[in-house]
Amino acid sequence: GVVDEDGYLFLRGRSKCMVLGPSGQNIYPEELEAVINNFTYVVDSLVVEDNGGLTALIYPDWHQGELDGMPRAALRKRIADMLPAINHELPNYAQIKKIELMPEDFERTPKKSIKRYLYQR
């Protein structure tokens, strides 16, 4: 967690989800996912460690793309082209190296959180 200037404690993420960065920084995927989920055409995302780097698994808003007259190939390219914009919003030690699109929504628990263990590499 982090304590702000007024003394309030803010949780950054779950310790069991934390990824240790190459320089020893604690990276909380939930923070990165919140940034990614704010982008257009992104329904949900999951950040996982992959060969020493971070990969963003993104479930795109296929339906909204169709409503906007965008073919799936164009939507795939548009999301792939978001990588520099996403990394601009993130700290240097938490840069996303790769984006992978998910063909269907993530598996979820009964309380609607993503089953992270199914997507670990």
Residue 43 CA to residue 64 CA, distance in Å, equals: 10
Residues forming a β-bridge with 108: 114
| pLDDT (0 to 100) of residue 2 | 58
**Going from the N-terminus, what domains does the chain have, and what CATH number goes with each?**
2-119 (3.30.300.30)
Predicted confidence (pLDDT) per residue in 27-38, tens digit:
888 989 999 999
Residues forming a β-bridge with 59: 44
- The secondary structure of residue 57, as a DSSP letter, is E
Please give the C-alpha separations between residue 82 and each of 5, 37, 70, 88, in angstroms, as whole numbers: 33, 12, 16, 10
Average pLDDT, the chain: 87
Helix (H, G, I), strand (E, B) or coil at 25: coil
Predicted confidence (pLDDT) per residue in 59-107, tens digit:
999 999 999 999 999 999 999 999 999 999 999 989 999 999 999 999 9
